[in-house]
Structure formats: structure tokens, C-alpha cells
Structure 1
Amino acid sequence: MTALRWHRFLSHLNYQSIVTEKWSKKPCDVLIALHGLRSHDSIQGFKKAYPNHPVVLIMTGTDIYRDLKNSTKVIKSMEMADAIVVLQPDAIQSLPKKFHHKIQVIYQSVKGITKKSPPKRHFLASIIGHLRSEKDPFCAAQCLPLLPSNSKVQLVQLGKAMSPEFKKQAISIEKNVMRYRWLDQLSHSKTLQWLSRSHVMIISSIMEGGAHVVSEAIAIGIPVIASDIPGNRGLLGDTYPAYYPAGDKVALSKLLNKAEANPVFYQKLCRAIALRQKITKPELEQKSIQKLIKSLIK
């Protein structure tokens, strides 16, 4: 998604660009690489062939919060890169200081989504993202039995199970928890329809570089209940009032109940989200990309 969005912006800026899984070995003025680990060989090959041509490395959450600790290839990619892009400012502090002069924050933008009227008979919470361990995918579902008996919260989970075990667990929870539905993987447009009519969106990740779905929720105006990790803080801000300790089902259930039962708190979340909407504007992302490319092509 990030690669396609950059491709679109570069086209608007009258640059020719091609999206490939790895460097095609064809000459180009700038190589823009997504993922320090996965793109290491492409960056290395490009720099060997064109040592004076710049490389932009866009770093993801797995790069910053997992692979950086486990693979020297990420560091080598950062060393070869002329510019490093992160998707939210809190990521900078997790990267070695010797690279800070290369780093630029470019927020992910969202275009053309409007908020829909939420259900009136229940309080709809959505959780969106593929079911894998770094997402802590069932924390929200497991907090549902902790809600008061008179709660009208309904949780809809959207995302593909990335292992047979996660699929089995999702099916089991759906059978045993009345408030929970797992809709598997839907198209992006259908997923956004669910998001746009939610009362709140939950993001329960234990590791995240700056989830695009959080940017989408901000752009639409959907309050977010978020695990307290740098990737979420970088998008929502340090003063955002709905963080819970990652993995803490009790704390999550309390926040979810507060959002449902306390209109003053819910409106506070709405206002806090509205204050962040400026970072999701497409014109800001395009301007940032333009500034970056101009600084590299001289």
C-alpha cells in the first residue's frame, strides 16, 4: 500500500516510477526501497552498480522494532541509504543516533473516505488487520466477557488468519462469545465501510511502525482505542486519552466500557482525533515526498 501510494504521488509530481518486488537491475536516478531487511540485497546491488545514485529507505515497524535487533542487514541497509523515511516521529528514538541526520518523517495519507452513521442498537467496535502474533489479535475479543452485562458493545474483527491456529481460535471465539464476529479478509473498500460506521476502532498491536489503519481512522474521524506502543503514540500523539498497556485485557475492557458509557469521554476522543486529521492530508504527504526527492536529485 505504501509503495503504490508513493508511486501515485511521484506520478503527480511528473516523475516516472516503477513498482517491483526487487530491483530489476535497470538504471534509475533514485532507488526507493521499502523494508530494510527485505530490500537489503536490492540496495546493495544498486549501490554497487550506481554508487553515486541515491537510495531512499522506507522503514517499517518490523524493521524498527524486530529486525533491527536480529539482523545486521537492516543496519547495513541504513548505512547504504542516503535518506531514511519513518512513518511517525516516535520511531526515530528507536534507531541508532548515527543515522538520525538521514531520517525524515513522512506521515501516511488517506483520501476520500467519509464517516457514516454508526448503529443505534449497539456500540460497534472494529479491529482491523491480519491475524498474526505482533498484532495481539485476540486481546480485544478476550476483553469482551469483562464488560458489564448491560453493555451493548459488538466487536467485528476483519483480517486474514495468518496461521491455522489463529483461524481455529477466531472460529472458536465466534462460537462462544456472542458479542464477537470474525469476517476474515474483505476487500479494502468493504473494510473501510465497516471502519467508517464504527463507534470506535481498536488497535491492539504489541509492535507497529505506524499502522495505516490508524491513519484511516483519524482521517475518517473514528475514535481509536490503542495499545500504548511508540507506533501508535507517534500517530495519535502523547496526550491522546485512550491508551492501554499492550496486552492488558482488563485495561482495554475498562477503556471500551468508558467509551460506550461515558458520552463526555467519547466526545473527548472525537475531538482528540479531529486535532490529528491534518497529518493524514494527501497534500502533506505529497509535499514531503517532493521535498525529499528534490533534496536528493541535484
Structure 2
Amino acid sequence: MRILVAGPVPEASDYGNGVTARRWAHLLRDLGHEVRVVQDYDGGRYDLLIALHARKSEAAIRAFTAACPDAPIVIALTGTDLYPDLASAGVDLTLLERAARIVVLQSQGVLQVPPGLRSRTTVITQSMPPIPGEAPAADRFEVAFLAHARPVKDPLRLSEAVRLLPSSSRITVTHVGGVREDDIGDRLRAESAENPRYTWLGPLPRPKALAVLARSRLLVLTSLHEGGANVVTEALAARVPIVSTRIPGSVGLLGEDYAGYFPVGDTEALAALLDAAEHDRDRLYTRIRRQCAAHRASADPERETGSWERLLAEVMPANAGYEGVR
């Protein structure tokens, strides 16, 4: 089958949507399909469109529908589609009504979809092969922050929180991620120069970013919204416990009872949680390590591949005789 994957960033991008598009293309090719990844519809004829991000891929969806009216469409909803809600995010609900299937990346995402469309909504959690661990530094409690500096990521929250830690704390933050605007880059550079607990490395090649994660004792996610963050899956694969804002995108992956949450935007609560994790106060660090281990199976690539294989079988059943138009 010829499949077109349309997304809002180039296939080579290390932003979350680029990472997701590459992974999906790889696993779909492993299933025997011909796959092309684009930002804009390229005018070709395909058996299926998988659109990553309903709002930002709207033009591609409309162009594909006009050119391939009989081909089904799968729309994957991202965090900035789903939250705070579809209408506020600017998602055209008529596009979702045309979709053969809607994909969300964690279980809470289904609740954002209109009730009439939930029967065709599928949860496909993202995956990552196991990441070999590295020995953490003995002289510090290193915390990884892997996030491009966009407002939705609340990128300065963690650096502000570690300023509140007691002087005896050994916590340091290593921030990996790019910037899109000079003003936030200036603020990150200043924070890195002035805050002894915070180091911003800027964007790194993906293997190097994952190496930072693998050697860390914690991953922190400070986002206001997430559709189902790749970095949570990566931390599970690296056996690194997670501290996250209590947002649906994390609750849908880690569960309601996960012990490592703090309220969105609450610097003091984040500082207190980090302090407790460092010293395993009330066995917090032990608990979140065990809870993450219990969720590790959700990051299994075979599980994600199987989910896509079942979805394709539903959308393009074997008796449909798809051959692709070339």
C-alpha cells in the first residue's frame, strides 16, 4: 500500500512531530508499505493519508481529499490540537468527521474528541527501543530537561524551581533543546550563565540528547499541555523516572495515581518534589521508579507496530483490493 504521512515539520526535524513521523514511517515500511513523509501534499496518488496534527496539516488533508477522494484518511491529534480543547485549538471538526480513524497518543486524549467520533478513535502510545543506561555522575543529582523552548513547554519553570532548593542540594539541570525566538534564547543563555544549577546545551543530535537522558537520575517535564510526549516514552525506555506537570497528556501515559506530578506553573511545588526525590523522602524516588517500570511495556515498539497493523487492517481490509494508483 502507498501511504502518505503529512506533518507540520520536516521529516528530519528533532521536534516531537518530526520524531513521530519518522518512527511511523519506519514501522509502516517494516510492515511492507511504501511510505512518503511530507509537510504539504505532493500531488501524488496514494492509498491512505496519515495526517499528523489536524490543524497544521489541514491544507494537506484538504488537498489530498480533492485529489484522492476514495482514499481513507487517518488524523492523529497532537497536544496543540487537543488542549485546551479542539475548538480553541482551531481544529475544523468537519475534517475529523471525514476521517476513517482518529488517533490519539494517550488514553486521556479520547475524552477531548466529540462523543460521536469516539467510536472511531484509537489510542496508539508512542514507543522507543530500550535505551542502555549510563552510570550517573556521583558528585551530583543530574536532572534532564529535554524540551524545545516554546511557551507550551514552560521552559524556564525548572530553572526557577532549582533556585529554591537548599544550598546542600546536589541537583543540577541539563537542558537540551532549541529555540525559535531570540528573546527566549537570550533568557536561557543568561540563566545558564547565572544559575549554577542549570546548564542549557541548546539543540543536540538526537543520540546525544538521549545520552543525556540515559545518564540522568530524573527527567522533568514542565509542559502546560502535551498530546503524549515522546520524551516520556524515551524516559521509560531509559529506565529514568519522571517528574511531570499533572496534565492529561502525562496522566494518560503514567496513570492517575502516579506519585511524580506537580501542578502546572507551580514553581514551589516542583522544587519541593525535586527535593523529596533527591533524598527519597517518603520513598518518593523509589515509588516513581517502580511506577515507571510498571509502565515500561507501553513503550515497546512491537506494541505500537501491532496497533498500526490492526488500524490499517480496519481501514483497508484485505478484501478491498487496494493496489495503489501510480
TM range (shorter): over 0.9
In 2, Cα distance between the equivalents of 1:195 and 1:234?
22
Out of 85, 90, 93, the residue aligned to residue 108 of structure 2 is 90
State the TM-score, normalizing by the size of structure 2.
Answer: 0.88
Are 1:289 and 2:308 matched, yes or no?
yes
State the TM-score, normalizing by the size of structure 1.
Answer: 0.96
In 2, Cα distance between the equivalents of 1:116 and 1:160?
24
In structure 2, the partner of 1:158 is 176
In structure 1, the partner of 2:4 is none
In 1, Cα distance between the equivalents of 2:258 and 2:237?
15
Change (3 A) 1:71 1:109: closer
Cα RMSD (Å): 1.4
Change (3 A) 1:185 1:72: closer
Identical positions, percent: 34
In structure 1, the partner of 2:5 is none
Out of 39, 56, 62, the residue aligned to residue 57 of structure 2 is 39
Q: Is the 8 A contact 1:67 1:74 kept in 2?
A: no
Out of 272, 289, 292, the residue aligned to residue 291 of structure 2 is 272
Q: Which amino acid aligns with 2:254?
A: L
Are 1:142 and 2:142 matched, yes or no?
no
Secondary structure of 1:183's counterpart equals: strand
> Cα deviation per residue 1:226-265 (whole Å; 9 max; x = unaligned)?
0010011111111110100011000000000000012632
> Cα deviation per residue 1:7-31 (whole Å; 9 max; x = unaligned)?
1111111111111112222111111
Q: Is the 8 A contact 2:81 2:91 kept in 1?
A: no
> Cα deviation per residue 1:148-194 (whole Å; 9 max; x = unaligned)?
11100011111112211111111121222111111010110000000
Are 1:70 and 2:67 matched, yes or no?
no
Q: Which amino acid aligns with 2:188?
A: A
In 1, Cα distance between the equivalents of 2:60 and 2:172?
45
In structure 2, the partner of 1:187 is 205
Q: Is the 8 A contact 1:161 1:167 kept in 2?
A: yes
Out of 16, 21, 30, the residue aligned to residue 3 of structure 1 is 21
Shift of 1:69: 2.5
Gaps of 5+ in 2: 1-18, 318-326
Q: Which amino acid aligns with 1:20?
A: V
Q: Which amino acid aligns with 1:293?
A: L
> Cα deviation per residue 1:243-290 (whole Å; 9 max; x = unaligned)?
000110000000000000126321111111100000000000000000
Q: Which amino acid aligns with 2:278?
A: E
Q: Is the 8 A contact 2:145 2:176 kept in 1?
A: yes
In 2, Cα distance between the equivalents of 1:231 and 1:71?
16
* Comparing 48-57 and 197-206, the one that deviates more: 48-57
Q: Is the 8 A contact 1:44 1:80 kept in 2?
A: no
Secondary structure of 1:19's counterpart equals: strand
In 1, Cα distance between the equivalents of 2:187 and 2:118?
42
Q: Which amino acid aligns with 1:274?
A: A
Q: Which amino acid aligns with 2:249?
A: G
Are 1:171 and 2:179 matched, yes or no?
no
Q: Is the 8 A contact 1:156 1:182 kept in 2?
A: yes
Shift of 1:71: 5.8
Shift of 1:41: 2.0
In structure 2, the partner of 1:212 is 230
Secondary structure of 1:104's counterpart equals: strand
Change (3 A) 1:144 1:95: same
Q: Is the 8 A contact 2:218 2:242 kept in 1?
A: yes
Secondary structure of 2:35's counterpart equals: coil
Gaps of 5+ in 1: none
* Comparing 206-215 and 112-121, the one that deviates more: 112-121
